[in-house]
Amino acid sequence: MVAAAQKMRRGRRLGGPSLASAETRAAYLFLLPWLAGLVFLLAIPLGWAAWISLTDEQLLRPGVWTGVDNYARMLSDDLFLTAVGVTLKWIVLSTPVFMIAGLGLALLLNQKLPGIRAFRTVLYIPAVLSGVAVAVLWVVLLNGDLGAVNQILRALGWSNPPNWFEDPGWAMPALVLMGLWGVGGGAIIYLAGLQNIPPHLYEAAEVDGAGPLSKFWNITLPMVSPTMFFVLINTIVDGLLVFGPIYVISSGAQTGGPANSLLFYMYYLYVKGFRDGELGYASALAWVLTVIGMVLVWLAFRLERRYVFYEAGGDA
Amino acid sequence: MRTISIPRSASLVRPRPRGPRLRRFGHAAFVYALLLLLCAFILLPVGWMLTAALKPDTAPIFTFPPEFFPTQFFNWDTFSGVLFNPDTPYFRYSLNTAFLVFVNIVFAVISNSLIAYPFARLRFRGRNILFAVLIATMLLPAPVLLIPQFLLFYNIGWYDTYLPLTIPTLAGNAFFVFLLRQYMRTIPKDLDEAARIDGAGFWTIYWRIILPLTAPALTVVAVFTFLGVWNDFFGPLIYLSNTDLYTVAVALANQRSVVGVKWNELMAANLIAIVPPLAVYFFAQKKLLGGIASVGLKG
C-alpha cells in the first residue's frame, strides 16, 4: 500500500505518463555512451574471447577451431605451471606480510598525537607512484654488489648479503621488500576502518578494566575485520595481476626474473600473447586466470564466514 | 562520499586520567620514533635517487656509505640531458603522457557524470536492472577482455595511435559512476523540481545544476584518472610501437633494458616519472585520501 501511494505521488509529481516516458527517453540518451561501451567493449569482446580461446588465433592470422587444445596444452606446459606456482607463492607469501604490516602501520597512524597528519602524508607517498618507477628505483637499491641496501647490510656485519633480484632464491623476498615500501596504501584503508570504531566500545572496556592487549584482541580486531577482508580480496586480485615490476626486473625479456623465479601469470600471458603472438593460447590463459581468481576469492569468502565479524544490522 | 575524519570529539569527552604522565610520554616517544624510522625508510630511497641523478657522469653513483642527500654534486644538466637528448626525449614523453592524461580526465569527467546522472536522479524503466549490470561489470575479469579488445582496435586500425588509450574512457568506469551516483543522490531533489517548473529540460538540469554541484566528487575522479593514466604501463606497452608516441612509463621501463644505461640518467628519468603524481598528491591530498577511504568502506 505504501508503494502504491508512493507511485501515485510520483505520478503526480511527474505530471502524468507522458513526462515519465520523456524521462525514460532522456535517461537512455544519457546512458548511450555507457550502453555502447557495454556492447562493444564488454559483451562482444567477452564472447569473442571465449571463441578465440578455442582457436589457434595469431596476431595476423585468423584462428582455426582447435577445440580445447589450448586448455589441454597448459597441462604439459612447464612454464604455465611455473607461472601458476610463482603467482600462488607470491600470494601466500606476501598477503599475510602486507596485511599485518598495513594494520600495524594504521594502528600507529591512528594515535592522537600532534603532527600525525604529516606522517600519514609521507607514508602514503609510494602508493601514488607507478609500479614501473618504484621497480626501477628498487632494482638499483637492491643491486647485489653495489646497491645501497647491501652496503648497509655489509656495514651491519652481514659480509655476504643476498643478491636479491639476481638470485632465484632471493628474488621473491626482494619483491616483498619492495612491496613493503608501498604498505602505506593499505594502511590508509585500515585507518578508515579503525576510525569507524565507536569510541564508546573502548570506554566500556576500560570501565571493565581491560588492558591494551585485551582491547586490541576483543574490540579492534573484530571491528576492523571487515576492512581486513576487503584488503585481503584486493591483495589477492592485485597479486594475480602483478606485471609492471616484473617487466622492469626482467628488462622486458622472455624469462620472468632470474631462472623464471618471477614468472608471474600476467607476465607469461603477455609474453605468449604479445611477444609470441599466440593470442588463442593467451586467451585460454586469461580464462584460466579468471577461474583461479574465482576459486581464491571463494576461499576467502569461506574464511570470511568464520573469522569476519559483522555488527548485527550493520551493512559493512 | 565519506571522508576520513578523526573523531576529535572522542578525545574531548575523555578527560579521565590515563596512567602516570611519564608513561604517556614514553608511549608518544615510542610512536614518534617508530614513525620517524618508517619515514626514513620511505624518504631515504627517494633522496638517494635525487643524489644519484644530480651526479655528473664521472662521479661514482654507488658509494660507501650510500649518499642519501645531495651534498657534493648538483649537476642539473643530467635532467636537461634526459629531457632533451634525442636518445631519451623525456620532455616529449612527458608531453605525450600529459596529453593522454588531459584527454582522459575530460572524457572521464564528462562520461561518468553523464552516466551517473540518470542513475541518481531520473526514474526510468529498466533502471534497477541496468544498475545491477553496471555493478556486475566491476566483477568482469579484465585479462579476459584484453585480447579481444586488442584485436578489435588492431583490426579497425587503431594500433599505434592514442585512440585505444582514450576512446574507451568515454564508455565510463563502473566505479566512478557508482561514486558519482552516490554523491549526486545527496543533492536536494527540490533543485531539480524548481528548475523543471521554470521549464528546464533534463539536459539543462544536468549541465547547470547537477554538474556544478558534483564538483567535489568530480575532482576525485579527475585525480584518480590522472594517477591512473600517468602511471599506466600495460596499455601504452601493448598499443604503442612508435617510440615517438611513448609515454614516460613505457620509456622508463625500456630504458633500463638498454645496455650500458647511465645510472644518473636512469634516476633522473625516474624522478621525471614520479614528480607529477607526487605534485598532484600533495595538491589533492585530502580529497585523494578521502576518496580512497570511501573505496575501502565500500567493502
Task: Give the pLDDT mean for A77-99.
Answer: 96
Report which of residues A163 and B299 the model is more confident about.
A163
pLDDT at position A315 is 43
Closest CA to B121 of B199, B58, B70, B180: B180
- Same domain membership, residue B71 and residue B187: no
pLDDT level of residue A18 (50, 70, 90 thresholds): low
pLDDT at position A17 is 53
Task: Give the pLDDT mean for A97-107.
Answer: 95
3-state secondary structure of A101: helix
Report which of residues B260 and A150 the model is more confident about.
A150
pLDDT at A253 over 90: no
Lowest mean pLDDT among A114-128, A275-289, B8-22, B215-229: B8-22
* B274 interaction partners in chain A (CB closer than 8 Å): 129-130, 133
Q: Are B250 and B241 in contact (CB under 8 A)?
A: no
- Same domain membership, residue B275 and residue B240: yes
Q: What are A165's three cell numbers?
A: 633480484
Minimum-distance CB partner of B48 among A26, A148, A273: A148
- In a domain, residue B138? The reply is yes
Query: Taking phi first (over 0 means left), then psi (-120 to 50 degrees means alpha), and beta for anything else, what does residue A288 get?
Result: alpha
**Between vectors from CA B260 to CA B259 and to CA B265, what angle results, nearest 5°?**
115
Closest CA to B107 of B159, B164, B172: B172
Proportion of chain A above pLDDT 70, given as a percent: 92
pLDDT level of residue A183 (50, 70, 90 thresholds): very high
Task: Give the pLDDT mean for B284-291.
Answer: 72
- Same domain membership, residue B55 and residue B32: yes
pLDDT at position A75 is 94
pLDDT at position B256 is 76
Question: Are A244 and B147 a contacting pair at CB < 8 A?
Answer: no
Name the DSSP letter for residue A66.
-
pLDDT at A178 over 50: yes
pLDDT level of residue B61 (50, 70, 90 thresholds): confident
Report the domain count for chain B.
Answer: 2
CA A141/CA A180 separation, integer angstroms = 14
Q: Are B277 and B227 in contact (CB under 8 A)?
A: yes
Proportion of chain B above pLDDT 90, given as a percent: 66
Report which of residues B60 and A279 the model is more confident about.
A279
Q: Are B294 and B1 in contact (CB under 8 A)?
A: yes
pLDDT at position A33 is 95
- Same domain membership, residue B249 and residue B222: yes
pLDDT at B299 over 60: no
- Same domain membership, residue B30 and residue B122: no
Cis peptide before B216 (omega within 30 of 0): no
pLDDT at B200 over 50: yes
- Same domain membership, residue B71 and residue B134: no
CATH number at A77-307: 1.10.3720.10
- Same domain membership, residue B127 and residue B41: no
Query: Taking phi first (over 0 means left), then psi (-120 to 50 degrees means alpha), and beta for anything else, what does residue A107 get?
Result: alpha
Q: What are A187's three cell numbers?
A: 594502511
Nearby residues of A13 by Cβ (< 8 Å), 6 or more positions away: B193
Nearby residues of B150 by Cβ (< 8 Å), 6 or more positions away: A274, A279, B164, B238, B239
Task: Give the pLDDT mean for B191-198.
Answer: 90
Give tens-digit pLDDT for B163-190.
999 999 999 999 999 999 999 999 998 8
pLDDT at position A314 is 44
Closest CA to A22 of B125, B207, B188, B189: B125
Task: Give the pLDDT mean for A290-294.
Answer: 95
CATH number at residue B144: 1.10.3720.10
Question: Are A244 and B253 a contacting pair at CB < 8 A?
Answer: yes
- Same domain membership, residue B113 and residue B45: no
Q: How far is A188 from chain B (nearest CA, A)?
A: 7
CA B269/CA B78 separation, integer angstroms = 9
Residue in A closest to B295 by C-alpha: A189
CA A156/CA B88 separation, integer angstroms = 38
Q: Are B177 and B119 in contact (CB under 8 A)?
A: yes
Task: Give the pLDDT mean for B99-107.
Answer: 98
pLDDT at B15 over 60: no
Beta carbon pairs, A and B, within 8 Å: 282
Burial A24-62 (b: 16+ CB within 10 A, else e): bebbbebbebbbebbeebbeebeebbeebbbbbbeeeee
* A243 interaction partners in chain B (CB closer than 8 Å): 233-234
Lowest mean pLDDT among A195-209, A246-260, B200-214, B281-295: B281-295
Cell 564466514 maps to which residue?
A305
Structural domain that includes position B39: 20-75
Contacts 24+ apart (CB under 8 A), B252-259: B252/A132, B252/A133, B252/A136, B253/A132, B253/A136, B253/A244, B253/A247, B253/A248, B253/A252, B254/A252, B255/B88, B256/A136, B256/A139, B256/A248, B256/A251, B257/A251, B257/A252, B257/A253
Give tens-digit pLDDT for A147-165.
899 999 999 999 899 999 9
- Same domain membership, residue B146 and residue B31: no
- In a domain, residue B8? The reply is no
pLDDT at position B13 is 47
Mutate to test the interface with B, among A10, A31, A200 (most CBs of B within 10 A): A31
DSSP B11-77: HHT--S--S-HHHHHHHHHHHHHHHHHHHHHHHHHHHHHHHHHTS-TTS-SS-SSPP-S--S---TH
Give tens-digit pLDDT for B113-140.
999 999 999 999 999 999 999 999 988 8
pTM, to two decimals? 0.88
Check if A141 contacts B (Cβ < 8 Å).
yes
- Same domain membership, residue B207 and residue B71: no
Chain A, 262 to 291: residues with Cβ < 8 Å from chain B are 266, 269-270, 273-274, 279, 282-283, 286-287, 289-290
- In a domain, residue B230? The reply is yes
pLDDT level of residue B294 (50, 70, 90 thresholds): low
Task: Give the pLDDT mean for B210-234.
Answer: 94
Contacts 24+ apart (CB under 8 A), B22-28: B28/A111, B28/A113
Other Cβ atoms within 10 Å of A193 Cβ, number: 25
Q: How far is B59 from chain A (nearest CA, A)?
A: 14
pLDDT level of residue B44 (50, 70, 90 thresholds): very high
CA B72/CA B65 separation, integer angstroms = 14
pLDDT at position B293 is 57
Q: What are B10's three cell numbers?
A: 572522542
- In a domain, residue B10? The reply is no
Cα–Cα distance list, A152 to A146, B33, B102 (Å): 10, 20, 42
- Same domain membership, residue B56 and residue B106: no
pLDDT at A46 over 90: yes
- In a domain, residue B173? The reply is yes
Amino acid at A54: L
pLDDT at position A312 is 58
Task: Give the pLDDT mean for A287-296.
Answer: 95
Task: Give the pLDDT mean for A241-262.
Answer: 93
Give tens-digit pLDDT for A195-229.
989 999 999 999 998 888 999 999 999 999 999 99
Question: Are B172 and A37 a contacting pair at CB < 8 A?
Answer: yes
Q: Are B172 and B112 in contact (CB under 8 A)?
A: yes
Q: What average pLDDT does chain A have?
A: 89
- Same domain membership, residue B181 and residue B130: yes
Q: Are A284 and A74 in contact (CB under 8 A)?
A: yes
ipTM higher than the 0.90 cut: no
A65 by Cβ neighbours in 10 Å (0-12 / 13-18 / 19+) ranks as exposed
CA B182/CA B166 separation, integer angstroms = 25
Cα–Cα distance list, A43 to A17, A133, A280, B133, B149 (Å): 33, 34, 18, 11, 11
Domain-by-domain residue ranges, chain A?
Answer: 77-307
pLDDT at position A8 is 46
Element housing A280 (H / E): helix A279-307
pLDDT at A4 over 80: no
